[in-house]
Amino acid sequence: MMRRTNKKLIARIWKRAKRHAPLLLAGGVWAGLISSSGCASQRALTGGPKDTIPPMIESSTPPNLSTNFNGKKVRIQFDEYVQLKNAKKDLIITPSSENEYDIKLKGGRTFEITFDQPLDSNTTYTLNFQEVVQDVTEKNVLAENVFTFSTGPELDSMFLHGKVKDLLTNQPEEGAVVALYRSDDTLNIFNSKPLYFTKTDKEGIYTLAHIREGKYMLYTYQDKNQNLIFDPKKEKAGFHDGIIELNHEFDSLKLSIVDVNMDSLYTTKSLISGTYFVTSFNKPIKSYRTEFDVQEIFLPNNLLEDNKTIRFYNTRNMTEEDSLRVKVTAMDSVHNEITYETFVKFRETKRKKAKLEQKSGEQSRRYISNDFSNWYWFSKPIEKVNYDSAYFFYDSLNVLPITEEDFTWNDTRNIVSLRKNLELDTIIHPDTVEAPIFKTVKLNLKEGTFVSIEQDSATAIDKSYSFAQSENVGSILGKIITDEKSYILQLLDDRYNLIDERINPKDYAFLNVDPGKYYLRILVDKDGSGEWDPGNIMEVIPPEPVYFYPGLIVIRANWERTGIDMQF
């Protein structure tokens, strides 16, 4: 015990020496350490124990937690030399106002902030320094980094404390703004800075102290552009559902933040583009439908890869003099919906038709099961499928044809899902009585299998897959205990990529799971729409609930994890 105390004492003495070394040198106290030739340079002491002691407030005007302050200048003196890091950006002053201020560091130890206008009367002000004030040796951050005073006879005493997490990953959100607005005010996160605010730390923790009693709306959002106003196009956001009446302390108020483009939906252009007609939107859309003015006439169309542009095809040999009115209704991911009319036109051009592009859903698993499923996207609607060019190949004697029933198309016929049972007893093997055991299979979708409405063919898909063997994979089994009627249970890898999912299971089993680390997530479908809804902060509609199984689930080869139950 004595040894530990001595080390601490030595560290403090050494730090005090290093703090005041510049002044002592300037005063000649350390003259005996300088050679008589006068060639030695004057600098702060080095060596000794590492400086781990943060700066402290030595004195201030007004004093911390004082009342009845009527000045425009706040001075805080520290017990050592400090530096300011991003003071104008990171210093948080609440309640916020339009009163401009100037920040200075005088003599290396005195922080000074001067306001242009007198401070509001009967108001409790809080200066949250975060990591603004640091010592000059090891950049240790100010220990007591919140400074409070009142211009009235008493300090406001309400208190908010909690945590912010990303709703879809369950991970703490660092650096998120947590903001309070008066519930009866027209000011909000879309048009003005918050009245009270703070930022979350690395663990997503936030604290708002010395708040005036009242009714508030509580929001959280990223502030990428650092203007303290929420940008619905680019920033995550969340809010507490309902009004918070601050007449007592809240010490565990959890908030969720979700990454959704909340911007309103509108069209950006409708025009002829080469051999096509396109109509575009300011953001990706989730779905759309078209209604042509002449019911007997239909022009094929589809959504391009960016999900922001609908392309129409001139399959009826329309000339420059022709036009066809179409009504388009589009919806985005937060259910913003617009309906508008445009006239589809085409003109002769020497520009070539667009190339037929394609992509497929990547198998995220190392092994496949007997129930094969995947999807394929094409940049144009597919008019024809040559099924004799589509099959699963085991060997020269065992080939499993793909039929029309195995494909499910979207409305515009540019996205298709392939589902096929690969059980061995479904395989045609004419020369054998007993089916052989295969460890691999090859999917063949030859060039010419898919032909677009412009008569160009998709390139071949030729991919080999390995069947899961018990010695190579594991499984996760459990129960879902809930009164909810509609929900989605999802298996995610440790990067939150979707591996598999089940709809409304009571008893579930994820089989043939590759060794690794996984999360279990439940998305609740409260409105029974068949999908999870992220809500809409613009209309104060909260997202539907999300639940996680606590922690990562580790799977090893030939392991079975049972009893992984979730209750909500």
Q: What is the pLDDT of residues 72-127, one digit of tens each?
A: 999 999 999 999 999 998 999 999 999 999 999 999 999 999 999 999 999 999 99
> If we measure between CA atoms, which residue out of 340, 377, 344, 339 comes closest to residue 360?
377
Three-state secondary structure call for residue 142: coil
- To which H or E segment does residue 292 belong? strand 287-292
For the chain, what are the domain ranges?
1-52, 57-150, 158-257, 267-344, 358-466, 474-567
CATH fourth-level superfamily of 474-567: Immunoglobulins (2.60.40.10)
Mean pLDDT of the chain: 90
Please give the CATH number for the structural domain made up of 267-344: 2.60.40.1220
The reply to whether domains 57-150 and 474-567 share a CATH topology is yes
> If we measure between CA atoms, which residue out of 161, 98, 156 comes closest to residue 125?
156
Three-state secondary structure call for residue 543: coil
- Say whether domain 158-257 belongs to CATH 2.60.40.1120: yes
Whether the pLDDT of residue 163 is over 60: the answer is: yes
- CB count within 10 Å of CB 545 equals 16
Tokens linked to 37:
């030739």
Please give the CATH number for the structural domain made up of 57-150: 2.60.40.1220
- To which H or E segment does residue 401 belong? strand 398-401
The CATH number for 358-466, chosen from 1.20.120, 1.10.1760, 3.40.50, 2.60.40, is 2.60.40
Give the pLDDT confidence score for residue 40 in this predicted structure. Answer: 44
C-alpha distances out from residue 524 to 82, 170, 501, 535, Å: 51, 15, 13, 12
Tokens linked to 121:
């009367």
Q: Which residues pair with 312 in a beta bridge?
A: 277, 301
Predicted confidence (pLDDT) per residue in 440-468, tens digit: 999 999 999 999 999 999 999 999 999 98
Give the C-alpha separation, 543 to 303, whole Å: 27
Cis status of the peptide bond prior to 62, with omega within 30 of 0 = yes
Three-state secondary structure call for residue 399: strand
Tokens linked to 455:
């008569």
Q: What is the dihedral of CA 293, 295, 301, 307, to 10 degrees?
A: 60
Pairing of strands 398-401, 450-452: unpaired
Predicted confidence (pLDDT) per residue in 118-128, tens digit: 999 999 999 99
Longest distance between any two alpha carbons in the chain, whole Å: 106
The DSSP output letter for 460 is: P
Give the pLDDT confidence score for residue 46 in this predicted structure. Answer: 57
Side-chain half-sphere CA neighbours of 216 within 13 A:
25
Tokens linked to 430:
């004419």
Question: Long-range contact list for 525-532, CB < 8 A, 24+ apart?
Answer: 525/486, 525/487, 525/488, 526/484, 526/486, 528/485, 528/486, 530/486, 531/488, 532/488
Give the global pTM: 0.81
